[in-house]
Amino acid sequence: MSAEQRGNLDAILRQSAFPVDSDVSEQRRQLRELLSGQPLPADVTVTAAELGGVHTAEVTVDGVQPRHVVLYLHGGVYVLGDAFGAADLASQIGRRIGAKVFSVDYRLAPEDPYPAAVDDALAAYEALLHDGIAPSDVVFAGESAGGGLAVATLVNARDRGLPLPAAAYAMSPYADLTLAGASMETKREADPLMSRELLQARVGDYAAGKDAAVGLISPIFADLSGLPPLIIQVGTHEVLLDDAVRLAGVAATADVEVTLDITPGVPHVFQTYHAILDEAAAALDRAGQLLSARLARTQPPGPTARTGIVNDRSST
């Protein structure tokens, strides 16, 4: 693993970080501009689709015979991003586990605050089940807010009596909108992208006057019992480090099988930079292996927690 790669990426991200005082429309414009300069791999096809009345992007990879389905939830603190902008990262999961990906274009705040995103994610999953897709052939995945939303959707589906997917993969999950994690301060200087101030400015857009500690807003406060296995990845150079660590702890306490995979020296959703960062491709490979192993099992999750902690120190 290359310290030079990490250093170059850090410098690039610091130059492209959103100003703290920028509004939603400006942040959306900057994100669109950034994504427009990152073309998809030539073997990835993205087409507009719909699940349960919710717009999605259907992502396929040439040469990959889909045996499974990934329901993907993009990041963007619930106010930014879209299903198509997440297609590259989503496709990396699909190619590793032999799956078709549906990236969900859930409604965004402040125009559509909570529970719009939660409702849309659940509607998309229900549509997969209605279409005859076995839950054992489905995994949820998401980054940042999408990682938190993936866990919230598991909780919502469980509470509504729906069969649950085989597993969920959360990259740098934004799981606590009360922003109570100690790493909000301890990782302030290390994080090239995120800060408490940037996040705080958007919390009200999504929560819209509701308590940010509601379990479906901040799944770190939810009852996670009965959920399928969780794979949680995070870097040490991000203010959301504690969101991931605490979420894994809450899951383990609830007897959920959880793998917490921490990579030193990398930023928020570092998997996005798989083309230029060795650690990113390696993390996606590890997640792909765990997801594939879970999909190969047909029995429901057992009652005993099995927590694996992976700390990738090969690059230190």
How far is residue 160's CA from residue 145's CA, in Å, rounded to a whole number? Answer: 22
Residues that are catalytic: 144, 238, 268
How far is residue 153's CA from residue 311's CA, in Å, rounded to a whole number? Answer: 27
Token duo for residue 51 = 């699940």
Alpha helices for the chain (secondary structure H): 3-16, 24-36, 87-97, 116-130, 145-159, 183-186, 196-207, 241-253, 278-295
How far is residue 202's CA from residue 214's CA, in Å, rounded to a whole number? Answer: 16
How far is residue 11's CA from residue 15's CA, in Å, rounded to a whole number? Answer: 7
Question: Dihedral angle at the C-alpha atoms of 238, 286, 122, 131, nearest 10 degrees?
Answer: 160
- Picking from 216, 46, 50, the residue whose alpha carbon sits closest to that of residue 127 is 50
- The radius of gyration of the chain from alpha carbons, rounded to an integer in Å, stands at 18
| One-letter amino acid of 24 | V
| One-letter amino acid of 6 | R
| One-letter amino acid of 202 | R
Tell me the sheet residues that pair with 260: 232, 309
